[in-house]
Amino acid sequence: MSVPGPVLLAGASGLVGSRVLARLLELPRGPRVLAPSRRELGTAHPRLATVVAELASAEQDAALEQRLRSAVPGVAAFACCLGTTLRAAGSREAFLAVDRDLVLRIAGIARSMGARHALLVSSVGASAQSGNFYLRVKGETERGLAALGFERIDVLRPGLLLGDRLESRPAERLARALAPLLGTVLRGRLERYRAIPVDEVAAAAVALLLADGEGVHVHEHASLHALATGA
């Protein structure tokens, strides 16, 4: 089965996004992939169109959309793997600008280009009512995406991502070391907090981009694992 049309992929250079990109390009009858990025991705493929552009300001959105449309006139789906950390962003305001505002700006562009399906990599525990700033922003992003009029939305809420990052995250290294032990005690309702290999999240994302139907669908650990493994 092939994705019904071009996919606008945000965050294609990141931990999850790079795996999603690779899997989409490996599909025998896969879609064209339109990837806005602040830098070249270092990947060449007949079905990949990379648009290098500054993404920092909403005032640049019209120019970005024009460049995206010049590369691929319309898209069928929007897949977002964008994300940063408070430490990397440097402030709460900078974190909001990427993890919520930039995500929703690009989602709006994808919707105006015809996307009917949106997929968002969020986080376990995301809630617009959360007392935790990080989780509240993730929840606000999910809520904002739902307001844009997509016919189908798939929200992926993985726990700790197991994979090699370019930047150092000491707390994540410790959590990865403890993941096998935590996996044995995180059962029942706590299972959703289990760590998950980044390749499983990417495989689940691509499987969902192949899915039909409408509505908002939330996928946590068990669902992501099942989608990735075909269980």
Active site residues: 134, 138
| Strand 48-52 to 33-37 pairing | parallel
Q: What share of the chain is helix, strand, coil (3-state, %, to 5)?
A: 45, 15, 35
DSSP structure class, residue 131: S
- Give, to the nearest 10 degrees, the angle between helix 198-209 and helix 15-26: 50
Beta bridge partners of 152: 117, 215
Query: Is the CB of residue 21 less than 8 Å from the CB of residue 43?
Result: yes
- Give Cα separations from 112 to 56, 73, 125, 155 (angstroms): 20, 11, 30, 20
Output the six-digit token pair for 3.
């994705």
